[in-house]
Amino acid sequence: MHILLLASAFNSLTQRVHAELRDRGHRVAVELALPGGSLPDAVRRHAPRLVVAPMLKSAIPEEVWTAYPCLIVHPGPVGDRGPSSLDWAIHAGFDQWGVTVLQADGEMDAGDVWASVPCRLPDASKSELYRGEIADAALEAVLLAVERFAGGAYVPRKQDATHAGVCSRPYLDQSVRRIDWAEDSTRDVLRKLSAADSQPGVLDTLLGGEWYLHGGHPESELRGRPGELLATRAGAVCRATRDGAVWIPELRPRRLPGQPPTYKLPATSALGDRLPALPEVREATWTDIRYREDGNVGHLSFAFPGGAMSTDQCRRLLDAYREACARPTSVLVLGGERDFFSNGIHLNVIEAAADPAAESWANINAIDDLVEAVLTTTDRLVVSAVAGNAAAGGVLLALAADEVWCRSGAVLNPHYRLMGLYGSEYWTHTLPRRVGAATADRLMGEALPVSSASALRLGLVDRVVDCGPDAFAREVDALAARLASLPATASRITAKKTELDRLESTTPLAGFRERELARMRRTFDDPAAPYHALRRSFVHKERPACTPPHLASAPVA
């Protein structure tokens, strides 16, 4: 079918629906609901057979839903209504939830039900759940609804407004999200932070300013006066609660009238000179980089907010990688345990730098150093465990490993051009090596998301692990243990050194890096290069004037 996706943004869920529908042979186009645009005119231009809205913050005009079948993805079970569905579920501590696909009509979230899929809500942040359990359920529900629509015989179930299960929830505003540091328990604080993770954050006062707090992790050892800042670690600050403490990785200043939009930064960077002298603790409950061993397998996991990797984060991960390579293991697993793998360089930190061009250069070199270390590891097999989405340099970091294992729900965006960049991270070596030169050029040029199934078919990944987000780490542990036990593993390790020596004698890795970085340097040093404007628009979340052409077209899958 020709399916049109209506969305407020081409976010993670919209990308996944786009990729998975294309995998199944549908022609899929995207139209963004933008201020000043006419959705009725846009939909008429596309003339779709079906409209699907994976993430739409505004109502579909009556002129559209009366002329075309329109299916809305609501991140809540049947009967749940309102704009803050998942936020309320986490805020209230629910452990079971669901996703409903319903037909658009005159009342928000009240249309006929085409599909509904239940899901668990484990103890995780809203953004993790949205990209994980909610996305899995949403994709299942969308595919079922599309199949039912295509079949032509299914009659969607009407919702009864008087049914006991109907619950209309208001927007979850800051008056409800507010943290009372003197009264709220650590559990309550973490629940409020989790329900506001990524957006909108929890508005709070700290060191004489107003900030949105983003993210939260428990600390079991440090203690202090409720609300007091106790320590720093990896750019995060530790703040005391009534009965414990929490780590807050990111802060965003409250926007004042007449000032430009604000954006998230590592907490210590955001506070800057306001931050008092605090101990940088090494031994504490939370950290963004962890290493553990299980027999002959080392596991180096990392979890950076939003998947972005700043210069400092790249350097710290490189140090941890080198330490892991000093351990007597035959297999090293690199990756997160349930969310983002990596999205490459940290555009927010770059934007906030006194010299964004210089910080861009430092950041790209830092991630290149990390990729080089993986590419030149010859004394063990390295496995990239891609639990969640990856983009740009993050995909290329994964491809530097000997094997790439990807969770079935992950979406890959192995391209740079939408940010006006040529790219580095040795992509001109690793991407063609895996998928061939023609496919590499197509992936870079199309700049469209790739599902895990397509990534496996193309050769981007070596294994797709079909499981939920919470089970991925356990499945990877078992697979890595098996890999370490295989007799062929020793010979594969021996062959790595021979292959690297052959490569260095013909097409040295340094040449790929030099050529890539030469083009990146020209972009960074040119104030008129599109990269700088695109970066600012991305960081400040400026909406485009129109739907990007590469999304609005519907190429045959």
**What is the average per-residue pLDDT within 483-493?**
97
Cα–Cα distance for residue pair 343/22, rounded to 1 Å: 23
Residue 164 has pLDDT above 70, yes or no: no
Q: Give helix then strand counts, H and E, for the chain.
A: 21, 25
Cα–Cα distance for residue pair 224/313, rounded to 1 Å: 28
Question: Quick one: pLDDT at residue 163?
Answer: 60
- What pLDDT digit, counting tens, does each position of 383-424 carry? 999 999 999 999 999 999 999 999 999 999 999 999 999 999
Cα–Cα distance for residue pair 469/456, rounded to 1 Å: 19
Predicted TM-score of the model (pTM): 0.96
Strand 217-219 vs strand 209-214: parallel, antiparallel, or unpaired?
Answer: unpaired
Cα–Cα distance for residue pair 77/116, rounded to 1 Å: 7
3-class secondary-structure state, position 53: strand
Strand 463-465 vs strand 403-407: parallel, antiparallel, or unpaired?
Answer: parallel
In this structure, the number of other CB atoms found within 10 A of the CB of residue 231 comes to 19
- What pLDDT digit, counting tens, does each position of 91-138 carry? 999 999 999 999 999 888 899 999 999 999 999 999 999 999 999 999
Q: Is the dihedral of CA 22, 24, 27, 31 positive or negative?
A: negative
Question: Quick one: pLDDT at residue 312?
Answer: 98
User: Nearest CA to 310 among 345, 265, 341?
Assistant: 345
Q: At what angle do helices 427-435 and 509-524 cross, to 10 degrees?
A: 120
**What is the average per-residue pLDDT within 324-335?**
98
534 and 420 Cβ atoms separated by less than 8 Å: yes
**What is the average per-residue pLDDT within 40-49?**
95
Cα–Cα distance for residue pair 550/10, rounded to 1 Å: 12
**What is the average per-residue pLDDT within 537-541?**
96
Q: Fill in the DSSP letter of residue 280.
A: B
3-class secondary-structure state, position 490: helix
- What pLDDT digit, counting tens, does each position of 251-282 carry? 999 999 888 899 999 999 999 999 999 999 98
